[in-house]
Homo-oligomer: A and B are copies of this chain.
């Protein structure tokens, strides 16, 4: 079943294919009175925009967003916000091979098996181009929780990781890899260039941290903040793994090593560690929220791979067209956007259920 909406009270729906006339998102449930114009969204789209270095696809898209509804005199009205981005640089002729045979690792075969037909041009709906819609929606979400800072970076490419001791936030925006470690960024130039020229591609790990999230957002169990973030990020193209806090490393620890001891602090407890990634019992603790997301390597590669045609005959495919040699790099603004959308949604949900809790007064929404 096609399912292109996300969120519980702050919801968004995306639409559009790689080589259609446009793509877009509709954001519903945004609080009214938020100052919003295209200028609030465009910088985030520009971070994700393709064609800005040789390490991303060479497709040239301005990714200029237009707000078609939901804003009046510079403020949100509380009604749905329609965001539209034109596609201007389609080159569908590159995709003749993809029409006839399935790229291993790509969505091609699965779409055909499910739907019986597919828009093969540029990957159609399964193209990473769709993520521009998420980034646009995420820019709106950021404005709903302005006290939260959401910051992502690439932690590893092809297994080559940054050195945590060299982490420099300012470095992230200085290189084409969103890499916080200048030395790693230098190595990655060689690494990604090599993959690109070999007609290959590389996987990557993206990390993201959200600071300024107060204790109390999220839910026990079926909508654990961990689970919301996992669903949000695992829904991004090419993502195959997600960790909250220590993630799989926590599975190697003892209980006392994994505990985040507490000490009295100025505003509630002060924590002496953050193995939990800022979430306990599915609810934020006030610590920074930390996640890691695994992107597989781009499956559209020039290196030939054995496959079958739509008719079921053996062949091999080498994918022409323009592709990111490492789709995880541009995943950074996308992961950030999804985190923003989850947190803004949870902020509103927390206010819905617990908005009057602090006062300790009887609940009376009707006064």
Contacts and interface: CB of A to CB of B under 8 A. Distances in A.
Contacts of A20: 68-69
A158 to B, nearest CB: 6
Nearest first, the 5 A-B pairs at minimum CB distance are A107-B281, A147-B366, A159-B252, A201-B255, A3-B223
Contacts of A2: 28-30, 78-80, 219-220, 353
Given A102-B269, A224-B235, A240-B251, 20 more contacts: A2-B78, A9-B9, A14-B221, A108-B281, A109-B215, A109-B280, A110-B283, A126-B221, A195-B255, A226-B234, A227-B231, A240-B276, A241-B244, A248-B248, A248-B292, A250-B296, A251-B294, A255-B299, A347-B365, A349-B352
Contact of A247 (B14, B126, B241, B264): B241
A146 B109 CA distance: 25
5 contacts: A15-B69, A226-B234, A240-B248, A242-B242, A261-B307
B115 A357 contact: yes
A243 interface: yes
B158 A201 contact: no
A297 B255 contact: yes
A49 interface: no
A247 B240 contact: yes
Given A1-B352, A28-B5, A214 B366 contact: yes
Given A110-B285, A118-B77, A231-B231, A8 B15 contact: no
Contacts of A279: 110
Contact of A248 (B15, B294, B351): B294
Contact of A235 (B21, B35, B111, B227): B227
Interface in A198-243: 200-205, 212-224, 226-232, 234-235, 237, 239-243
A299 B259 contact: yes
B82 A16 contact: yes
Contacts of A177: none
A364 B31 CA distance: 11
Given A4-B79, A222-B4, A363 B143 contact: yes
A2 B204 CA distance: 34
A348 interface: yes
A186 interface: no
A70 interface: yes
A26 interface: yes
A156 B251 contact: yes
Contact of A230 (B22, B231, B363): B231
Contacts of A283: 107, 110-111, 113-114
Interface string A59-75: 00000001011101101
Interface stretch (A38-46, A164-172, A308-316): A308-316
Given A244-B240, A250-B203, A281-B107, A114 B78 contact: yes
B231 A110 contact: no
Contacts of A212: 366
A337 interface: no
B306 A221 contact: no
A305 B256 contact: yes
A321 interface: no
Contact of A277 (B144, B240, B312): B240
